Amino acid sequence: MATQVPAFKGKFGSTEFFLLTMQAGEFVRSMTVPKELEDWEDLSPEEKFQREIDYKRVATHIAPYLAHDEDRFIGAFICEVRQHDEMEFESLVDAGTKFPKGMPNSLMRQFGVLYLSGSEVMIPLDGQHRLAALEFAISGKDEKKNDIKGLTPNAEVAADTCTVILIKHDLEKARKIFNKVNKYAKPTSKADNLITDDSNYIAVITRESIIGDVIPGRLVLSGKGNTLSSKAPEFTTLATVYEINLSVEEAYIGRKPDLTKLPRREDRDLAIQNLTDFWTKFIEITPFEHSLADPSETGDERRQDIRKNSLTCKPIVQRVLANVILELQCGVDDAHKLSIEETVSRINTLDWDPNQSMWQGILLNGDKIIAGITPLKLATRMIAYILGQKLEPLELKKLKDSFSTNNPGREFPDPHY
């Protein structure tokens, strides 16, 4: 079926292209995936692998986002056009359109109408997964035409506007474009995801409800690092706040949260309330209070001094202390539960000076702070014990054995409560 599409004609390097828009429903109907092409078998194993669609990822991550999120958005598709002999471009200048004198013909020759005969075959060079996701989101069915669990089809997606970059077919050029675009496309880092991910509701709450509302934004390092240098003006890191929030949510709901989709509004509101309440009480740890007392630049030097002299202000120790609170609040039977306020009060009675020998083998190895999940877990168990966690004889023996294994010859500390 012949169609006329407004388009912009451009050139990048030696490649001529047409930039146009199509409704998502029409775009899905117009595209042919590489696996359906006659020359599929001529592709190398690597090229076939790169062109295989991960339908599970499409169904569980991308399609639900497109179907359920009103603020959905996706980038431009790069597609090649085969059987394009009858495809023609007519510029506005060639069509006899008159323009104001200030608009040069050389520019307006790039804008016009692309005439498609209907015999063209369009293949995505970049965007196969988004293409499949559009189809899944509109129909609610997967590649086998089965209903997708947890996905409500959204016919409105078919009317959304897709941006399309069309390139005339040239086998070698098409392969080069595909391989370069996909080879150098890097997955976003964990730090990037914490800043931009809108389907991970813990990341969203971290950004929107904790940082800024409870902890001043300028005091949270949002880069890639999980540590703070001695000269850093911040109080903590984005990754630390997120990991603490993740631990709190898991402890409170009794399972690992589903971070691939937004929860029901009431569940999200409860999570916001729980996490805000936790942090409001958590930052009553005395060195935290002092660090946050003056969030402006005038308080930066004091924050540096506090972090130097108190282990509590090391990001890894902040995670340990949050886990200690959760262990004493959620990880024990009702008779021995401690409120956040009581645990914070007990934390405030301990000496957190890095020179305090009791922290060797728990939070410190020589003058180096612990790092890694296993040391973090051991530190959590040790500090919970020091703060009064009641352990069965077998549990206590296991803890002593773990401590001794990591600290041969060092005396096992006594509980303070």
In a domain, 416, yes or no: no
Tell me, what's the pLDDT at 49?
Answer: 38
Q: Which of 151, 185, 219 is the last residue of a domain?
A: 185
Same domain, yes or no: 215 and 254: yes
Token pair for 372:
């890694």
Count the helices and strands in the chain (H runs, E runs): 17, 11
pLDDT tens digits, residue range 93-126? 888 887 777 777 778 889 999 999 988 888 888 8
Same domain, yes or no: 168 and 58: yes
pTM of the shown model:
0.66
pLDDT tens digits, residue range 154-197? 999 999 999 999 999 887 776 677 666 665 555 666 766 777 67
Q: Which of 150, 185, 220 is the last residue of a domain?
A: 185
In a domain, 160, yes or no: yes
Question: Which residue in 303, 299, 325, 324 sits closest to 314, CA to CA?
Answer: 303
In a domain, 415, yes or no: no
Least reliable range by pLDDT among 340-344, 358-362, 403-407? 403-407
Same domain, yes or no: 163 and 294: no
Mean pLDDT of the chain: 88
In a domain, 413, yes or no: no
What is the phi/psi pair of residue 161, to 5°? -95, 125
79 forms beta bridges with 124, 166
Same domain, yes or no: 211 and 293: yes
Same domain, yes or no: 179 and 271: no
pLDDT surpassing 70 at residue 44: no
78 forms beta bridges with 126, 165
Q: Report helix, strand or coil for 33.
A: coil
Structural domains of the chain, count: 2
pLDDT surpassing 60 at residue 22: yes
**Mean pLDDT (whole number) for 287-307:** 96
**Mean pLDDT (whole number) for 409-417:** 91
Domain span at 174: 3-185
Same domain, yes or no: 125 and 215: no
- Calculate the dihedral angle through the C-alpha atoms of 318, 324, 325, 326, rounding to the nearest 10 degrees: 110
Same domain, yes or no: 169 and 214: no
In a domain, 411, yes or no: no
Same domain, yes or no: 181 and 196: no
Residue 14 banded pLDDT, cuts 50, 70, 90: confident
pLDDT surpassing 60 at residue 45: no
Same domain, yes or no: 145 and 242: no
What is the phi/psi pair of residue 199, to 5°? -95, -20
pLDDT, greater one: 143 or 172? 143
Same domain, yes or no: 318 and 398: yes
Same domain, yes or no: 174 and 111: yes
pLDDT surpassing 50 at residue 47: no
pLDDT tens digits, residue range 220-268? 998 666 789 999 999 999 999 999 999 999 999 999 998 877 788 899 9
In a domain, 124, yes or no: yes
Pair 133, 124: CB distance under 8 Å? no
% of the chain at pLDDT higher than 70 = 90
Same domain, yes or no: 159 and 204: no
Q: What is d(CA 314, CA 214) in angstroms, rounded to the nearest whole number?
A: 18
